[in-house]
């Protein structure tokens, strides 16, 4: 699951020699990582996936900068702070197909519960100052600044495909990835509104 | 497509209409929704519930009728002779998706933290109509939860204003605890003209409003995420018993 050169791409694709290897990334914005846990629930199918695509960026690969020339990126989480916004823009600038991955990216979901409270100061006060078990001070170092509201990904960058669910089940992720990778490898239009095995969109 | 066999002695369907390109016979006075359901042609609905009066508020059951440039409501429009009805066109599907998205946009329908997730008519409608994201800017309103009732909870953030609870309380239970206050986007469900539900002395604690709620707005207290199960179909059963006079003693019991 590392970045490879063009020359290296042919070595891992013996299982499916007639398909070009794609460059895939995942990203973790304002979410709980549950979508990535569900992604890991793909278990041994991850080997099939890496036969077809290199995973070149994500919380599961220790690469600091979002790379150029990525074919497909799954983006988990709402855009809730300045780091999320910066990464979202870098993803859009360097990715052909951006997938809004999970309910937080698609609707804001749990991450956006704070929006109804108004400015983020109210939530920070509630969590860090009013909470009896914490030190009673607002965190200011290392952590990025919160945006005024947590927003769905498509409010800030153009999204090509939506894969909702909290989290999307491994079956649904697999169904979507197979459909997307097949279409991209064949140069066909992207499939939308595929039905996962559980026939659900939002929620779990 | 098979018609309901004529009922001996009863009325027979005798109104010729075209339903999705097929010539069929409707009963006199039958609504488009009843006709379509009788013939197995699904039309999505939300506020409509068998056993209650017709509200016509959700606009999901709209259909196309030749010669009519509006979109009539299937639940509230009786068939007329030679009507040419289409229930499933790309324009209708688009319209229904928009309605569902607007419902999601104006509330806080966060399925992941909802008692009704997995048994919710709005969640099902989203899936059935390919709503996989919301085009409109989400409102994220701040709306109060009323947990003052000892047995039930009203979470107004999840209310779609279908008025099933208002109607069932008035028409079946006869208590009329519920009403919709305000107008437009300010519309909100209120008990006894604005009291906390727990203070509403007209509430009989029957729970019919909770049974008919299509979303997680009304639930049994103490249910956790995904644990609430509603039972709206029971109302049609109760309404039939009432219409057939099942509760009226036909004979005075012997002394």
Q: For B110-134, how does the pLDDT look when each residue is reduced to its tens digit (9 = 90+)?
A: 999 999 999 999 999 999 999 999 9
- The pair phi, psi for residue B92, each rounded to 5°, is -65, -40
Q: pLDDT at position A7, please?
A: 41
- Is the predicted pLDDT of residue B223 greater than 80, yes or no? yes
CB atoms within 10 A of CB B19: 21
B15-26 mean pLDDT: 96
CB contact under 8 A, A112 and B138: yes
**What's B9-88's CATH class?**
alpha beta
Q: pLDDT at position A204, please?
A: 75
Q: What band does A195 get if pLDDT is binned at 50, 70 and 90?
A: low
Looking at residue A31, the DSSP 8-state letter turns out to be: S
Q: How far is B217 from chain A (nearest CA, A)?
A: 16
Q: pLDDT at position A11, please?
A: 44
Task: Give the C-alpha distances (Å, rounded to integers) separating B216 from B52, B60, B169.
Answer: 20, 19, 18
- Is the predicted pLDDT of residue B3 greater than 70, yes or no? no
Q: For A127-184, how does the pLDDT look when each residue is reduced to its tens digit (9 = 90+)?
A: 888 887 777 888 888 899 999 999 999 999 999 999 999 999 999 999 999 999 999 9
**Who contacts A149 (Cβ-Cβ below 8 Å, separation ≥6)?**
A112, A114, A115, B140
CA–CA separation, B188 vs B144, rounded Å?
Answer: 10
Full set of structural domains in chain A with CATH: 7-114+146-186 (3.40.50.700)
Residues A36, A183, B129, A174: is their CA dihedral positive or negative? negative
Partner residue opposite B133 with nearest CB, options A117, A118, A162: A162
- Enumerate the residues of chain A whose CB falls inside 8 A of the CB of residue B139: none
The mean pLDDT value of chain B amounts to 92
CB atoms within 10 A of CB A144: 12
Looking at residue B153, the DSSP 8-state letter turns out to be: E
Q: Is the minimum CB–CB distance between B48 and chain A shorter than 8 Å?
A: no
CA–CA separation, B58 vs B103, rounded Å?
Answer: 9
The DSSP secondary structure of B45-65, one letter per residue, reads -SS--TTS-----S--SB-EE
CB contact under 8 A, B112 and A193: no
Q: Can you give the residue ranges of every domain in chain B?
A: 9-88, 110-232
- Is the predicted pLDDT of residue B67 greater than 90, yes or no? no
**With contact defined as beta carbons under 8 Å apart, do A167 and A148 qualify?**
no
Q: For A76-121, how does the pLDDT look when each residue is reduced to its tens digit (9 = 90+)?
A: 999 999 999 999 999 999 999 999 999 999 999 999 999 988 888 8
**With contact defined as beta carbons under 8 Å apart, do B132 and B181 qualify?**
no
Q: pLDDT at position B253, please?
A: 62
CA–CA separation, A172 vs A195, rounded Å?
Answer: 8
Q: Could you tell me which CATH number the domain at B110-232 has?
A: 3.30.70.20
Q: Is the minimum CB–CB distance between B224 and chain A shorter than 8 Å?
A: no
CB contact under 8 A, B138 and A162: no
Report the first-to-last Cα separation within chain A, whole angstroms: 29
Q: For B148-195, how does the pLDDT look when each residue is reduced to its tens digit (9 = 90+)?
A: 999 999 999 999 999 999 999 999 999 999 999 999 889 999 999 999
CA–CA separation, A93 vs A73, rounded Å?
Answer: 11
CB contact under 8 A, A112 and B140: yes
Higher pLDDT, A11 or A89: A89
A&B contacts, CB < 8 Å:
77
The mean pLDDT value of chain A amounts to 87
**Who contacts A195 (Cβ-Cβ below 8 Å, separation ≥6)?**
A175
ipTM of the complex: 0.85
């Amino acid at each position: 699951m590392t970045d490879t050169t063009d020359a290296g791409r042919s070595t891992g694709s013996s299982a499916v020699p007639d398909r070009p290897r794609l460059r895939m990334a995942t990203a973790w914005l304002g979410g709980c990582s549950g979508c990535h846990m569900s992604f890991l629930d793909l278990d041994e199918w991850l080997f099939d996936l890496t036969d077809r695509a290199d995973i070149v960026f994500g919380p599961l690969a220790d690469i600091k900068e979002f790379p150029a020339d990525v074919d497909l990126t799954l983006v988990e989480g709402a855009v809730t702070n300045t780091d999320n916004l910066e990464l979202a823009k870098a993803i859009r600038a360097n990715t052909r197909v951006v997938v809004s991955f999970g309910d937080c990216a698609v609707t804001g979901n749990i991450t956006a519960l704070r929006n109804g409270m108004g400015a983020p100061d109210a939530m920070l006060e509630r969590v860090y100052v009013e909470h009896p078990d914490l030190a009673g001070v607002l965190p200011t170092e290392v952590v990025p600044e919160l945006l005024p509201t947590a927003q769905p990904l498509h409010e800030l960058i153009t999204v090509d495909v939506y894969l909702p669910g909290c989290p999307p089940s491994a079956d649904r992720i697999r169904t979507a990835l197979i459909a997307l990778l097949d279409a991209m490898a064949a140069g066909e239009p992207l499939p939308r509104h595929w039905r996962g095995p559980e026939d659900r969109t939002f929620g779990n | 497509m098979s018609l309901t066999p004529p009922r001996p002695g009863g009325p027979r369907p005798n109104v010729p209409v075209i339903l999705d390109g097929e010539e069929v016979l409707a009963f006199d006075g039958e609504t488009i929704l009843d006709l379509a359901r009788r013939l197995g042609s699904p039309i999505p609905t939300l506020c409509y519930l068998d056993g209650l009066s017709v509200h016509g508020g959700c606009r999901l059951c709209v259909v196309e009728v030749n010669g009519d440039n509006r979109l009539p409501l299937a639940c509230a429009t009786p068939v007329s002779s030679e009507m040419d009805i289409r229930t499933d066109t790309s324009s209708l599907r688009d319209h229904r998706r928009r309605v569902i998205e607007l419902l999601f946009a104006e509330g806080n329908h966060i399925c992941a933290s909802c008692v009704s997730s997995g048994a919710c008519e709005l969640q099902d409608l989203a899936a059935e109509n390919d709503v996989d994201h919301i085009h409109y800017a989400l409102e994220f309103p701040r709306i109060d939860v009323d947990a003052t009732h000892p047995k039930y909870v009203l979470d107004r953030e999840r209310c779609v204003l279908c008025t099933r609870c208002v109607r069932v309380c008035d028409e079946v239970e006869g208590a009329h605890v519920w009403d919709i206050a305000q107008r437009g986007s300010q519309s909100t469900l209120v008990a006894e003209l604005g009291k906390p539900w727990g203070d509403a002395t007209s509430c009989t604690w029957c729970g019919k409003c909770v049974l008919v709620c299509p979303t997680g707005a009304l639930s049994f207290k103490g249910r956790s995420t995904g644990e609430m199960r509603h039972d709206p179909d029971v109302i049609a059963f109760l309404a039939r018993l009432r219409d057939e006079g099942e509760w009226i003693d036909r004979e005075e019991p012997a002394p």
